[in-house]
Every structure is written in structure tokens, then in C-alpha cells.
Amino acid sequence: MIGNLPFVVCMILVALGLWTLVVKRNLVKLVIGVGLIESGVNLFLVALGYVQGGIPPIYTYAPADAPMVLPTPQALTLTSIVIGVATTALMLAFAVVIYRHKGTLDARKIRELRG
Amino acid sequence: MSVHAPILVIAIPLLGGFAVPILARIHRTVRDLWVVLIACVVAAGVGYVAAQVFSQGIWVYVLGAKTPQETRVSAGFPIRIMLTVDAMSAFMGLIAGILALAAFPFAVRFIPEEEGKTLALALGLLLLAGIAGMAYTGDLFNFFVFLEVTSIAACGLIGFRTWTSRAPEAAFKTMLLYSVSGLLFLLGIAFLYGEYGALNLAYISAQLRGSMVDRIALALFLSGLLMKVAAAPVHFWAPDAYGEAPAAKTLLLVVNTQVSLYGLWRILFTLYGGKLDAGVGWLVISMGLLTMAVAALMAIGQTDLGRLVAYGAVSQIGYMLLGVGVGLVSLTSRADYGLVAMKGGIFHMLNDALTVGLLFLCVGAVEWVKGTRDLRELGGLGHQLPAVALCFLLASLALAGIPPLNGFASKIMIYEGSFRLSPILTALAVLASILLLAVFARAFQGVFLGPRTEITGRIHWVFLFSMGVLAVGIMVLGLVPGFFVEQVVAPAAEALWRGRALYLAAILGG
């Protein structure tokens, strides 16, 4: 048994992502930080749906007493991955545009909007 | 058709938004009329839903079944997605409808064709769909999906003017914040799902035990949503976003912020209602005070009219947090002053939408005729634009809470309620209002008074129509607030204050 280990790993991923957002100053690295949080959350959802010895939730041909996996977490994860792709792409696109304007990706040097 | 109204309010702007680029190929006028038509249909739809809900109670719309009972599995929870529209959701929908009516006609004239008007209008409709979805859904994961729909559409609107260097920067910042807030919210949902195996808000609420996992989830929900409503100290994205988006679309960003606020109330009152310690209420109150103080102070030094108004908008979020926070603190004791403060806070959502919306439209009009929003270059516009000047003055006074305008009507209720909890809260709130009055008086004087200056553009009548809609709303709500408070605001506040049992019963039966 691996117990709560998957959950711990997911939380470590989320924490790493948050740490990246606080410490890093490169826009692309910030996007990677968001990606890390996202992976952590998605893995957490998948880990929640795990059933020991579970079978796919298809009633046809299924043994009478076999434990079925609830498909909801997988569906959630798929949705969340799709949303994640969209947000990451949008952020990277903005980073590209910012680079074209300012010639740098350093968050400290591009602060035109402040105060 | 009318039995499907709640889902149509979400589906029509969603499909209508995607149809905009196709219609633009046919003719631009067709596209413009289409966008205005969709906005009108959505406004009529939310109006119809609100009328039904206020007269007949909670409206549960089940996707794929007739009643919630039909979707119940043996374990006792409903498995379909449900839209659960109670008085508070209907009220939030009304706010979105009114602002859509003002924002879309304005945007149709305001955004220049060569600046990607087609896509901006399409994104605006998608944002509206997301907002309606957040307001009406009764399913946590569904709420998250709509949250992300609004995030993506909103950031597209903020950053679509990629040829300027400021817009992408604002959009990147906002998107980063929105993504993190959305992911924290999703993590909270995952915790609750792990414990209760369901996503339906009412079902989870009925099962909630107040365990450690629930508390962690609450912390995640709170931090995610407070980020998205621009509460200090994570307010910094809001002035950038409001300042850089085209003025007509900023209205929708304001509603987007408010619907996140609505999500916060839903989580605090319906999901966790009665199982919270007063500490959470005090947290909301202190965030509110901090937000109004920081934003009012930051507004002083602004030289850009758009950013100045944006800080005014952020500070108003503080009043709503204060009002509802007072209600939250007194939720267990059921003290009547808590309900007064809550009514004030919820009424203020509507008032803030109108006043801040009008201010942003004025900013847009000023930018339209002068090509700049820099306070150092503006002046004397009152000669050429008397109507805009009047609207700006009206909205500034309403924002600062001067009688007999609508801002006063709601702020007096917040003051009254919070005074009974602690006079210090009221003193701070009044102080922030006075500060805002000073800031906006200076802005008005700088932009509209003084010697006549050259202007380069002319105001279109559609601009005045949109501003008129909001200005009339401000005056009507200010002069006869009693009727609206009785008919609309009180049921909404009651839905949060006492309505939890009804909300659960509507889904779970009995």
C-alpha cells in the first residue's frame, strides 16, 4: 500500500508551483509555475478517483460484484486539462507580445503599470 | 421555451458570441445588430428568471431530467448538473443584464473597426455567458468551469490591443492571478469531492461536517475567490485590467468581479452556512476595510483617469465585503443588524455596478473625444460635453455616498449595521468615502472645468443612451430605494441569511 503518498506528492507539486510564482521573475517561468500547480491539482483529482482493483464503469460484461471506478474525477481532470491548455497558451501569447515590445521577459524590468 | 429560461440565458450569449465572427463576414451592420439583440435577449431572460424566482421561489433547472428527484442515485445524491436560481442568483443575473444593456450598444460604437472589433464583441458575449453561468449554477465544478470561461474571455478583452505595450502586461498579470485563483478553487473542490464524492453544492452542504478537510477547502475557496474579487492585498491586477481594457468592456469586467463576489457569498452562506466560526466573518470584514482604505489612498496619486476610476471601483468592493462580513459575524446570533448590513452590502453590488459602470463610460467618452486619459492634459471638457460632465458628477457623488443618490442608500445600511457591531468599522468606512469624494472632486475639476480646449472627436448618441440608462438607474435607486430594497434586495439577502434550508430542500427534497 502506498497510502497517502500520491496526495502528498500532489501537494508538493502545488507548493513548488506557488514557490515558483513568488520567487521567479521570468515570465515564462511564472507560466511554468502555474503549470506546476495545475499538474498538482490534476494529479490530485486523478488520485482521488483511484479504486483498488476497480474496473471501468461499463455495465455490459461487468462482473456482478466488482468495484467500479466513478468516472467523475476523470471527467473533471479532462475538463481541467483543456482549460489549462487554454490559459497557458493565452499567457504564453501575452509573454511573446510583451517580449516584442520590451525586449525582455524579466518581470522587474517591464513594470510600466504600477501604483 | 420559458421553462428553459435559465439555461437559455447562458446558452444564447455563448452561441451568439461564436456566431459573431461569421456574421461579421456577411455585413458589419448585421453583426452590430446581432450583438445588441443578444444583449437585449439576455437582459430580458434574466429579467424573466428574476420575476419568476421572486414570485415563486427557487427555480431548479436540471440538465437532462425533469426534476432533481429523477437524477437521485441510490446513495442519495443527484448526479446531473443543476442550475439552482434562488433570489440571490437572480439578483446577480439582473445586475449582469442591466450592465450588458449599457455595455454592448456602447461597445458597438466605441471600439474601432481596425482594432479587432469583431473579436472584442465576441469575447464580450462569451464573458457574459460565463457570468450568467456563474450566477445560476448550483454545481461546484460547473462554477469552476464558468469561472475559467470568464477568466479567459476577460483576459482576452484586457490584452487584445497587442500593439500597445501596456495592455499585454495588464493582461498577463491578470491572467496569472485568475489562473492561480481558479486552480486554488479547483483544489478546494477536489478536497470536498474526495470527502463527499459529489459536486452538487446543496448535497455537499447538507453533508458538511466541518472537519479538517472542510476547513482546508474553505481556506482554498476563500483565497481563490478573494484573489479574483481584487481584495487587498491582491488587488493590484484590477486597476491595470480596468484601465487597459476598452472602456465599454470594463463594465463587464466589473460584473465579472461582482459575480466572483457572489460566488464567495454562495460558498460562505449556502455551502458552509452555520458551520463557520465568527473568525471567518472578521477576516472578510478586515479584508473589506483594508481594500477600501488601500484603494482610496492609491487613487489619490493617479494621473490616468482610467486608473483613478479603477481604484474607486476596487474600493467599493471593500464596502460589499464589509457589509456582508458583518452579516457573517452575526449569522449565528441572528442579530437583526447583521441582516441590515447584508442588505446594504448586496444592494451596494447593484449600485456599484451602475455607478462604476457610468464612470467607466464617461472615461471612454473622454478618451473618445480627446484621445488621451492623462489628467495632466485634460481640462475644460465641460464646455463641449455637458452631458458627460453631468454623468461623471452624478456617478462620482453616488460613488462617494452622497444623498440622495443610490450609493448613499446602500452605504447608510452598511454603516447602520456595522455601527452596531463596532463603531470603528463605520468610522473607517466613512473616512474612505470622504477620501474618495475628494479624489473624484479633483478629477472632475481637472477634466471638465477650466478653460475650453480643443477636442478631436464627437460624442455619438449611442454613448449618451448607454450613459442615460445607468444615470437613470442611479437616480431612481437613490430617490426611491425603499421599493427596490423591499422587492429585490431583501429577498436576495434573505436567501443567503435564512434561505440555506430552502436551497437544500429544493434539490434534495423534504
Cβ contacts of B74-81, under 8 Å, gap ≥ 24: B75/B197, B76/B203, B76/B508, B77/B197, B77/B198, B77/B200, B77/B203, B78/B200, B78/B203, B78/B507, B78/B508, B81/B137, B81/B139, B81/B142
**A97 contacts B168 by C-beta, under 8 angstroms:** yes
Closest CA to B273 of B197, B198, B205: B205
Q: H or E stretch including B83?
A: strand B82-85
DSSP state of B61: E
Q: Which residues 16-35 of A are in CB contact (within 8 Å) with B? A: 18, 21, 27, 30-31, 34
Tell whether B187 is within 8 A of chain A (Cβ). Answer: yes
Q: Give residue B332's pLDDT.
A: 79
Whole domain around residue A64: which residue ranges? 5-102
- Give the residue among B35, B46, B44 at the shortest CA–CA distance from B13: B35
Work out the percent of chain B whose per-residue pLDDT is above 90. 59
CB atoms within 10 A of CB B29: 10
Question: Is position A93 within any domain?
Answer: yes
Summary mean pLDDT of chain B: 90
Whether chain B has a CB inside 8 Å of the CB on A98: the answer is yes
Residue B137 φ/ψ, nearest 5 degrees: -70, 150
Length in residues, chain A: 115
Who wins on pLDDT, B277 or A83? A83
CATH number of the domain enclosing A92: 1.10.287
pLDDT at B283 over 70: yes
Residue B312's identity, in one-letter code, is G
Residue A115 is predicted with a pLDDT of 57
pLDDT digits (tens, 9 = 90+) for A6-42: 899 999 999 999 999 999 999 999 999 999 999 999 9
Domain membership of residue A108 (yes or no) is no
Q: What whole-number percentage of chain B has pLDDT above 70?
A: 99
CA distance B193 to chain A (A): 8
Can you tell me whether residue B59 is helix, strand or coil? strand
Looking at residue A56, its pLDDT comes to 80
B484 touches A at CB < 8 Å: no
Q: Backbone phi, then psi, for B454, in 5-degree steps?
A: -70, 140
pLDDT at B75: 67
Q: What is the 3-state secondary structure (H, E, C) of chain A?
A: CCCCHHHHHHHHHHHHHHHHHHHCCEHHHHHHHHHHHHHHHHHHHHHHCCCCCCECCCCCCCCCCCCECCCHHHHHHHHHHHHHHHHHHHHHHHHHHHHHHHCCCECCCCCCCCC
Higher pLDDT, A66 or B88: B88
Contacts (Cβ under 8 Å, ≥6 apart) of B338: B326, B327, B328, B329, B330, B331, B417, B421, B497
* Cβ neighbours of B334 (radius 10 Å): 10
Q: Per-residue pLDDT for B425 more than 80?
A: yes
The mean pLDDT of B419-435, rounded to a whole number, is 91
Closest-CA distance, B307 to chain A, in angstroms, reads: 9
- Is B219 near chain A, with CB under 8 Å? no
In a domain, A113, yes or no: no
CB-based contact, B243 to chain A, within 8 Å? yes
Selecting from B145, B165, B175 the residue whose C-beta is nearest the C-beta of A90 gives B175
Q: Mean pLDDT across the stretch B381-406?
A: 89
d(CA B446, CA A41): 49
pLDDT band at residue A103 under the 50/70/90 scheme? confident
Residue B355, φ and ψ in degrees, nearest 5: -70, -50
pTM: 0.94
Where is average pLDDT lowest: A59-63, B250-254, B301-305, B457-461?
A59-63
B73 contact residues in A (CB cutoff 8 A)? none
Place of cell 441569511: B497
Confidence grade of residue B35 (pLDDT, cut at 50, 70, 90): very high
The sign of the torsion formed by the CA atoms of A89, A93, A96, A98 equals negative
Residue A115 included in any domain: no
Give the closest-approach CA distance of B298 to chain A in angstroms: 7
With beta carbons less than 8 A apart as the criterion, state whether B188 and B263 touch.
Answer: no
Confidence of residue B231 (pLDDT cuts 50, 70, 90): confident
Rounded to an integer, what distance in angstroms lies between the CA atom of residue B131 and that of residue B125?
Answer: 10
* pLDDT of A3 higher than 80: no
Confidence bin at A111 (pLDDT 50/70/90):
confident
The distance of Cα B174 from the centroid of its chain, to the nearest Å, equals 16
Beta bridge pairs of residue B59? B85
Chain A residue nearest residue B187, CA to CA: A41
Average pLDDT value over all residues in chain A? 88
| DSSP category for residue B68 | G
B423 CB near a chain A CB, below 8 Å?
no
Report CA B207 to chain centroid distance, whole Å. 30
pLDDT band at A90 (very low <50, low <70, confident <90, very high): very high
Q: Is A17 a domain residue? A: yes
As a whole number of angstroms, the distance between CA B231 and CA A76 comes to 28
Query: How many domains does chain A contain in total?
Result: 1
Interface residue B145 vs chain A (CB under 8 A): yes
Give the C-alpha separation, B101 to B93, whole Å.
12
Q: Which of A30, A48, A79 sits opposite B190 (nearest CB)?
A: A48
Q: The C-alpha cell of B422 is what?
A: 463596532
The Cα-based distances of B15 to B7, B19, B20, B130, B256 in angstroms read: 12, 6, 9, 12, 19
**Amino acid identity of B234?**
V
B112 pLDDT above the threshold of 90:
no
A41 part of a folded domain: yes
> What is the 3 state secondary structure string of B466-487?
HHHHHHHHHHHHHHCHHHHHHH
Segment B61-73 shows an average pLDDT of: 81
Residues found in chain B: 510
